[in-house]
Structure 1
Amino acid sequence: MSDALRDTDRRPDPDALLGLASKDGRGKLTIFLGAAPGVGKTYAMLARARVQMTAGTDIVLGLVETHGRSETERLVEGLETLPRRKIAYKEWVLDEFDLDAALARRPRVIVVDELAHSNAPESRHPKRYQDIEELLAAGIDVWTALNIQHLESLSGIVSQITGVVVRETVPDRVLKQADVVVLIDLPPEELINRLREGKVYMPDNARRATESFFRLGNLTALRELALRRTADRVDDQMVDYLKQNAIEGPWRTGERLLVCIGPDALSEKVVLTASHLASGMNARWLVVSLERTDQGGDSPELQTRIDELFRLAERLGGETKRIQGKDFVHEILRLCRKEHVTQIVIGAPQRSRLQRLFRRALPDALLEEQSGMGIHLITDDAPPSKTPRQSGLERSPFASLPVNLPDIATAIVTTAAAAVLAASIVELVALPNLSMLFLLAVLVSALRQGYAAAFMTSIFSALAYNFFFIKPLYTLTIAAPHEVFAFVIFIAAALLAGGIASRIREQGQVAARRAAQTQILYDVSSKLAGTVDADAVVWTAVSQLNGIIKRPIALLSPQDGVLALRSCWPPDTELGVPEMAAARFAFEKGEAAGAGTGTLPNSTLQFRPLRGPAGILSVCGYQLSGEPLDPMEERALLAILDQVTIALDRAHLTVRSVEDQARLERERFQSTLLSSISHDLRTPLATITGAVTSLKEFGDRMPAESRRDLLQSIEEEGERLSRFVGNLLDMTRIEAGAVEPKRDWVDLNDVVADAIGRARRLAPSTEINASIARDLPLLRADSMLLGQALFNLIDNACKHGGGTPVTVYAKADDAAISLSVTDLGKGISENDLDRIFEKFYRRGKKADGRKPGTGLGLAIAKGFVEAMGGSIAVESPAVKRLGTRFTLRFAREKDERDRQPA
């Protein structure tokens, strides 16, 4: 292998780098781990805290349990301690860790003792380790203490060793996520001496402890567990370091466990044992549940049991997966090859001799088929009974026949109907194959009730057929040998036909359920596919979810930076303080919260975050009603929430696209404005600067006429600059909504004359005429704004109309007063008519190729007219297919008709 290839192979492991990157911004967790109470975890933690405080570290005691030990209490003195939160519970007042105070104080390091502690009711989190996880997410380093017996995977083993039930446990993942594990070790003999000296418990409690938990054998076993678990954690950290830095070293062969479970009682022990094996071997482990595709699915109760086992496995650090297939052995071995499994863990329930004789167990089949893998068989603790339990992995329609009243009734009714029908037919005509009627009864029972009913119908039919229709009649004996053969064939055919029919029935039920789920997803997808409005997406999601799970639904999303209720069903659903707290937690942390979870379980709703590519988009809450969702509802809920997340993300992207387009258009307008203004301002400024320079240097030597021309140029260009600046200021006022017309009675003759006069000074070569009705009443408006709007229209007609004369008309009717400005130029194209009032929009080009003006005149005119309550319209062509006409209309007020201009 070349050096280049060798260097390529030695690159850092991507998964290790991703794991390292995920810790950015999070606090570091340090766990002081001990084998038993009294080894000195809290003492060591406080001693190190004092050293850190002396070194200048911002360290705070969030909660420390001294248990009355004087040497520990002395270490607390001088360290900043947060006050505890008082919680009233029944007739007691409990002191608990104040999580909100710790987040508000936000120290560099905080000490929170008793990691496995259960919080008081009404707390945000049921367990203290969840408080610590929130502190870590906030970027605060946490020091805490833990005894080895409180690890969830070891609690059962510790109970067997010590005989003491461990009630408070911590998921193994908490220890695996610790950045530093400090082992506080003490030999068992020394710990027992400390106990007898009263340094751990009071004398009476110490004496009882030495007789039960604190025995030499118990402490030795616990010490071994603590040492092994610490060694595993250190090994994990070393391997991570090697991977992150691409350091070649003595890589060991990794173990991978595959754990097969079913809904039976033994599977829980299988999961716990597999967790212990994986911890001892430092191996990854995958828990799988298999479902036959050729049979009916598990009942909701069994599916719920599988979900509970999956949650247990995930808490213990395992992965979970569901697979489907007809051949369990084939599917398991195929998955083993795909996942590089080295060992299989499977339950081996007690089986009767009859079962072992006629049916091969799944563990036996794996032993025969597998090669190169180890298999761990987990047996039941209970002794074998006469009716042994069967593993959920081995269920089949032929394995057990649960009998119930509907099955018995169906068997009796169908058998009786077949017997009556056969007897009626025999009375009319002799038939040699009456057994077909009884076979039909078996098929009907299988299709109606399933295999149990078909099996019973087969037995009843065989007895009825023998009793009533095989000679000698009315006895259970058979005289003819060929009848014996026919009878045996009938029973075999009936059992086989019943099994096939029941299998078809179960497959039909499975197909129907899956078709219903597919139809639900199709309906939701089709309704969301064409929806780009976020409100429509929210309403569709709420209505569809409520129709599926039949429970109150609430969907919340941020509005103006605050999480608010967007839609709910029923519409009168109200969210209280616990519900809003759970919703905010789910949105901020990206985790499920509320009822049925470990966070804020007092909420009546469970909230789940909807995570899109850009982060959490929304949270959806649904009421548990005291019962969890059944598996079908759970899958439908997850599938629909995924569709809703995609639709919400699409709606947000659509809004963002519109905003980006508007921003780009705004930037284009600004660029156009700056380009135009920079040129149009430089021209008059250059003229003014040149004229002033000429007057300054040559004024006393210039003829009087030349000086007058220069001064006139300065005046004209100054007025031009004033107009430019005035237009910009007017446009700014219009966009800011700061235009406040001063309404008064206005004589339109004066307004029109003033506007025409201003326009003639700017365009002396253009003919401008006025035509004003004699009986024109006064108009209630702002004369300054109206005059500016009219001037802008006349100026636009002079510059861009291209045809003379420009005429201003003013007239009135019963409803309104109208002003119009008309030119006889080439007119405006139909495409330009739709955009003529847009700011910065300009038509035509000058000789130098630039578009004239700033494109603000008509936009300002429109803004001023509408601010005064009027309207403005444009039409082109105006007169004989020529010109353009702008028309202003203002409503007449009631009393203005009686007031005529003087």
Structure 2
Amino acid sequence: MPENERDLRSRPDPDALLALAEQDRRGKLTVFLGASPGVGKTYAMLTRARRLKEEGVDIVIGIVETHGRDETAALLEGLEVLPRREVVHSGRTHSEFDLDAALARCPRVIVVDELAHTNLGEGRHPKRYQDIEELVDAGIDVWTALNIQHLESLSDVVAQIAGIPVRERVPDTVLNRADDVLLVDLPPTELIERLKEGKVYLPDSAKRAVDRFFRLGNLTALRELALRRTADRVDDQMVDYLKQNAIEGPWAAGERLIVCIGPDSLSEKVVRTASRLASGLNADWIVVSIERADGEAGDSEAMRQLDDTFRLAELLGAQTRRIAGNDFVEEILKLARREHATQIVIGTRRQRFPLRLFRQSLPDALAERVSGIGIHLITDRSEPTAKPRRKRRRMLPEGSGRALAIAAGATASATVLGLLIERFIILQNISLLYLLAVLASAIYAGYVAAIAAAVFSVLAYNFFFIEPVGTFTVAEPHEVFALFVFLAAATLAGSLASRVREQAKTARRRVTATQALYDFSRKLSGTANAEDVLWAAVTQIHTTLRRNAALLLPEGGDIALKAAWPPDTELSVTDMMAARWALEKKEAAGNETGTLPNSPFQFRPLMSPHGVVGVCGFLQQDKPLEINEERALAAILDQTAIAVDRARLSRESLDQAAQLESEHFRAALLSSISHDLRTPLSTITGAVTSLRQLGDRMPGESRDDLLKSIEEESDRLTRFVTNLLDMTRIEAGAINAKRDWVDVADVVRAAVERARKYFPDRVIETSIAADLPLIRGDSVLLGQVLFNLLDNANKFGGDEPVSIYARRDGSEVVLSVTDLGKGITPADLEHVFDKFFRRGKPDGRSPATGLGLSISKGFVEAMGGRIKAESPALRRRGTRISMRFPVADADLAEKERG
């Protein structure tokens, strides 16, 4: 064996390890399995519970039924027993297991007897095994008891053995997921003796139980079923252990079953038998139903029966498929080849003699064409008498009266037309008029009208046109033959026309449904907002199902109603609990489900590739969806989930883009700070080091230059820190500009004097109008703005003079700073007031932090003004930054000045 293949085989199975990890996060389920009541399951549980209690384990009794047995009741002494929940059902008070109390207590181990029990009242779950599953999911170890007769896949076998139907059943998957299955066994003879002694049931019912159920043959058969099922479970556990520990063994190639069902009563037996076969083979199995692609899927009752069979298959752990096609055998073989099936399970009934001559059964046709795949035939003992009766009932469906009326009218019209024609000309093929009547009846009213029209036409043609006329007597033998041929031809033509009509109706219905889904898909594809998606989806669901619909999305750790149609649809507390369950457990909840079935709504999770994105609820009210409604709803929910997920991803993408932009600003800020702090600090450090090392040995002029450099760089550093603080104040909205009277001319002169101190080599020209009015503002902020603009012009204005103009323009005062440098490109002109936007000098260096103009814009707007950049300014070059401030009331200004 190659070394790499040996390494792969020596590794543990990933799926097995994932299953083991999942078990570690959950509680452990231990099932005490028995062949029948009375073998001692509850006694064994309580005995072990007392032993664990003595060892200090936190174990409580959730519910235990002693059935009046003193020896069992004695074992409860000293154990903590949770109080039961009182429920009123059918006018009587019953005690039920309190699931919420058990979850609140949260013990290490809890004993919950009778796994197959049906809960009474309006509990969260209709079955006790669902309560136990919730306890296990909460991390609590659960001990429970089960009789083999209550397993879903064995209920029909037990009914045949004991002659008593099993009402309370548990899905096989519950037992398959159990961590431990402990068989509690007792020989049948000893069990019967215990029953006679009154240790199993009360004495008055013991003899009746012995006579009906507790017979030696029944108990022996049930014991064998329990032993076999326990052995299968032990074998599964051994295989899991080998996979988890990468232990090689003689594992056989995996079996895979294809189970074929239809809308009949035999399909339930086929599914149960296939479940037992798959369990014994430890095989995966797929349940498939095929419907004709060119016609009706079947009546509503048959489709409902098929849906019930599919739900039973899913309950027993099967995958389910629905396939459309005309060649059933070919579709089954295609699926078997695609799924690598090794065996096919199909039901068959004994056909009546005439049918066997003219029609081959599906199992026979499958056996002829299959190759390399085993076939299991499941037979039915009952006589096929119901099928013909069902067909006779279908011959006269609803609306038959209308069909008969149309057939009679068409036949009468053909007769009248034929009699009118015979007044003028004698035709030998007048019967073609009746054939036309048959075809018209089939097209307008279906198969029943076609058959009726064929019969009416034969009678009318015989009475009015065949000698002797006016009687139903036929004189010539060839006329009798012609009548029978006409009847056969009319019936065949009518049936074909009727079939074409039904196919056309089906095609129109499918086209309508497809068009509706296409329009809905187009609507969703053009919608990026999650709210619009939800409203489009909820209206589409309401239109398709004609029921109230609601869509809920996760919000703040809970679930919230986002859209409903009609808009006044309200959800009760029970409805919201069912919606939360569907979101958290990723399974349907509410009406017609195993969780909170008292809710009138059924809630289904919206599953996307990234998980559950929401929950859809629709009003069920104990009226199941038809098959076409179910398919349409599934398609709508799938598209809605994808659209909601797309909207979420789009929103996250925008958030991520904003975050990236923020990161970009942060990086730019750090880069700017590091550069602008490093340069003056380096200059200051160098100057201080030179002064310390050389001291008096340095010429006085050199010392003055170094001290001047320290002073200039300190001022530069101070301006930089001031800009950062100003920018922080602007972003925080903490700029509180004063509203004092400001003389713009004084502020301009002060700013120019300050700039000349810092830029002594820069020529600054001013032009201030003599009649310049006062403005309302903050002289300090306005002076800082002017200095920032002069600083910017000094950096980028070249060697030409910088000009400051102040004038009045109507009701505004205009201030502008103009340089004659290279100017700003049109692309950069839109961003000059953005934070950290920097233009390089001709040598490529970036001399500024990109905060000056941004701070200027914030200060100007805080004072109620506007700022604008223009380029080119003069002679196709330069940049002009202009500011506009509203003029203050002149009289009030003169009064306050005076």
How has the CA–CA distance of structure 1 residues 754 and 271 changed in structure 2, closer, same or farther, with 3 Å as cutoff?
same
How has the CA–CA distance of structure 1 residues 415 and 656 changed in structure 2, closer, same or farther, with 3 Å as cutoff?
same
Provide the residue aligned with 2:569 in structure 1. Answer: 573
Report the AA paired with residue 158 of structure 1: V
What's the offset of the Cα at 1:681? 1.0
How has the CA–CA distance of structure 1 residues 851 and 28 changed in structure 2, closer, same or farther, with 3 Å as cutoff?
farther
Provide the residue aligned with 1:884 in structure 2. Answer: 879
Report the AA paired with residue 829 of structure 2: L
1:35-434 mapped onto 2 (5 Å cutoff): 35-49=35-49, 61-65=61-65, 84=84, 95-103=95-103, 106=106, 108-195=108-195, 200-201=200-201, 204=204, 209-210=209-210, 212-245=212-245, 247-252=247-252, 256-280=256-280, 282-341=282-341, 343-349=343-349, 352-356=352-356, 358-366=358-366, 373-379=374-380, 381=382, 383=383, 385=385, 388=388, 404-434=400-430
Deviations 1:701-733 (A, max 9, x none): 545544443333323222222232233333333
User: CA separation in 1, counterparts of 2:570 and 2:397?
Assistant: 46
Provide the residue aligned with 2:762 in structure 1. Answer: 766
- Does structure 2 conserve the Cα–Cα contact (< 8 Å) formed by 1:673 and 1:840? yes
Provide the residue aligned with 2:28 in structure 1. Answer: 28
Query: SS state of the match for residue 602, structure 2?
Result: strand
Higher mean Cα deviation, 371-380 or 227-236?
Answer: 371-380
How has the CA–CA distance of structure 1 residues 262 and 405 changed in structure 2, closer, same or farther, with 3 Å as cutoff?
farther
What's the offset of the Cα at 1:410? 2.2
How has the CA–CA distance of structure 1 residues 816 and 559 changed in structure 2, closer, same or farther, with 3 Å as cutoff?
farther
Report the AA paired with residue 411 of structure 1: A
What's the offset of the Cα at 1:65? 4.6
User: CA separation in 2, counterparts of 1:427 and 1:533?
Assistant: 75
Query: SS state of the match for residue 555, structure 1?
Result: strand
Higher mean Cα deviation, 36-45 or 549-558?
Answer: 36-45
How has the CA–CA distance of structure 1 residues 687 and 577 changed in structure 2, closer, same or farther, with 3 Å as cutoff?
same
Higher mean Cα deviation, 519-528 or 685-694?
Answer: 685-694
Report the AA paired with residue 733 of structure 1: R
Matched, 1:617 2:613: yes
Report the AA paired with residue 230 of structure 1: T
How has the CA–CA distance of structure 1 residues 829 and 500 changed in structure 2, closer, same or farther, with 3 Å as cutoff?
same
Provide the residue aligned with 1:642 in structure 2. Answer: 638
User: CA separation in 1, counterparts of 2:673 and 2:337?
Assistant: 73
Aligned residues: 895
Task: Identify the match of residue 626 of structure 2 among 607, 623, 630.
Answer: 630
Provide the residue aligned with 2:852 in structure 1. Answer: 857
Query: SS state of the match for residue 564, structure 1?
Result: strand
What's the offset of the Cα at 1:247? 4.0
How has the CA–CA distance of structure 1 residues 562 and 451 changed in structure 2, closer, same or farther, with 3 Å as cutoff?
same
User: CA separation in 2, counterparts of 1:120 and 1:810?
Assistant: 89
How has the CA–CA distance of structure 1 residues 11 and 89 changed in structure 2, closer, same or farther, with 3 Å as cutoff?
same
What's the offset of the Cα at 1:350? 6.4
Report the AA paired with residue 487 of structure 1: L
User: CA separation in 2, counterparts of 1:510 and 1:877?
Assistant: 73
How has the CA–CA distance of structure 1 residues 119 and 836 changed in structure 2, closer, same or farther, with 3 Å as cutoff?
farther
Report the AA paired with residue 444 of structure 1: A
How has the CA–CA distance of structure 1 residues 596 and 398 changed in structure 2, closer, same or farther, with 3 Å as cutoff?
closer
TM-score (normalised: structure 1): 0.89
Query: SS state of the match for residue 142, structure 2?
Result: strand
Provide the residue aligned with 1:467 in structure 2. Answer: 463
What's the offset of the Cα at 1:229? 1.4
How has the CA–CA distance of structure 1 residues 622 and 754 changed in structure 2, closer, same or farther, with 3 Å as cutoff?
farther
Report the AA paired with residue 290 of structure 1: I
Deviations 1:235-292 (A, max 9, x none): 2222334445554433346554443332233433433344344445554433222212
Provide the residue aligned with 1:592 in structure 2. Answer: 588
Provide the residue aligned with 1:521 in structure 2. Answer: 517
Provide the residue aligned with 2:537 in structure 1. Answer: 541
- Does structure 2 conserve the Cα–Cα contact (< 8 Å) formed by 1:352 and 1:388? no
- Does structure 2 conserve the Cα–Cα contact (< 8 Å) formed by 1:442 and 1:494? yes
Provide the residue aligned with 2:869 in structure 1. Answer: 874
Report the AA paired with residue 228 of structure 1: R
How has the CA–CA distance of structure 1 residues 711 and 271 changed in structure 2, closer, same or farther, with 3 Å as cutoff?
same
What's the offset of the Cα at 1:444? 1.0
Deviations 1:471-500 (A, max 9, x none): 232333434454444434323322222222
Deviations 1:647-684 (A, max 9, x none): 22222222222222232332233223222321221121
User: CA separation in 2, counterparts of 1:601 and 1:43?
Assistant: 33
Matched, 1:555 2:551: yes
Report the AA paired with residue 463 of structure 2: F
Higher mean Cα deviation, 648-657 or 698-707?
Answer: 698-707
How has the CA–CA distance of structure 1 residues 698 and 895 changed in structure 2, closer, same or farther, with 3 Å as cutoff?
same
| RMSD over equivalenced CA pairs, Å | 3.6
- Does structure 2 conserve the Cα–Cα contact (< 8 Å) formed by 1:777 and 1:897? no
Query: SS state of the match for residue 607, structure 2?
Result: strand
Higher mean Cα deviation, 891-900 or 459-468?
Answer: 891-900
Deviations 1:35-83 (A, max 9, x none): 3344343443444455556666665555455556666566656666655
1:749-788 mapped onto 2 (5 Å cutoff): 749-774=745-770, 776-788=772-784
Higher mean Cα deviation, 489-498 or 59-68?
Answer: 59-68
- Does structure 2 conserve the Cα–Cα contact (< 8 Å) formed by 1:846 and 1:852? no
What's the offset of the Cα at 1:814? 6.0
Report the AA paired with residue 668 of structure 2: T
User: CA separation in 1, counterparts of 2:812 and 2:81?
Assistant: 78
Provide the residue aligned with 2:651 in structure 1. Answer: 655
What's the offset of the Cα at 1:560? 4.2
Of all paired residues, the percent bearing the same amino acid is: 62
What's the offset of the Cα at 1:345? 4.2
How has the CA–CA distance of structure 1 residues 756 and 138 changed in structure 2, closer, same or farther, with 3 Å as cutoff?
farther
Higher mean Cα deviation, 523-532 or 273-282?
Answer: 273-282
User: CA separation in 1, counterparts of 2:504 and 2:78?
Assistant: 74
Higher mean Cα deviation, 352-361 or 552-561?
Answer: 352-361
User: CA separation in 1, counterparts of 2:785 and 2:194?
Assistant: 97
Query: SS state of the match for residue 807, structure 1?
Result: strand
Query: SS state of the match for residue 841, structure 1?
Result: coil
Matched, 1:454 2:450: yes
User: CA separation in 2, counterparts of 1:105 and 1:736?
Assistant: 50
What's the offset of the Cα at 1:28? 3.2
How has the CA–CA distance of structure 1 residues 386 and 145 changed in structure 2, closer, same or farther, with 3 Å as cutoff?
closer
Higher mean Cα deviation, 329-338 or 285-294?
Answer: 329-338
- Does structure 1 conserve the Cα–Cα contact (< 8 Å) formed by 2:256 and 2:284? yes
User: CA separation in 1, counterparts of 2:146 and 2:683?
Assistant: 85
User: CA separation in 1, counterparts of 2:394 and 2:461?
Assistant: 27
Deviations 1:305-333 (A, max 9, x none): 32122112211222222222223344334
How has the CA–CA distance of structure 1 residues 2 and 517 changed in structure 2, closer, same or farther, with 3 Å as cutoff?
same
- Does structure 1 conserve the Cα–Cα contact (< 8 Å) formed by 2:43 and 2:72? yes
- Does structure 1 conserve the Cα–Cα contact (< 8 Å) formed by 2:608 and 2:638? no
How has the CA–CA distance of structure 1 residues 876 and 50 changed in structure 2, closer, same or farther, with 3 Å as cutoff?
farther
- Does structure 2 conserve the Cα–Cα contact (< 8 Å) formed by 1:261 and 1:347? yes
Report the AA paired with residue 515 of structure 1: V
Query: SS state of the match for residue 158, structure 1?
Result: helix
User: CA separation in 1, counterparts of 2:70 and 2:768?
Assistant: 105
What's the offset of the Cα at 1:842? 0.9
- Does structure 1 conserve the Cα–Cα contact (< 8 Å) formed by 2:837 and 2:850? yes
Report the AA paired with residue 512 of structure 2: A
Task: Identify the match of residue 660 of structure 2 among 661, 664, 670.
Answer: 664
How has the CA–CA distance of structure 1 residues 379 and 156 changed in structure 2, closer, same or farther, with 3 Å as cutoff?
closer
- Does structure 1 conserve the Cα–Cα contact (< 8 Å) formed by 2:12 and 2:245? yes
Provide the residue aligned with 1:499 in structure 2. Answer: 495
What's the offset of the Cα at 1:113? 3.4
- Does structure 1 conserve the Cα–Cα contact (< 8 Å) formed by 2:346 and 2:375? no
- Does structure 2 conserve the Cα–Cα contact (< 8 Å) formed by 1:350 and 1:389? no
User: CA separation in 2, counterparts of 1:781 and 1:111?
Assistant: 80
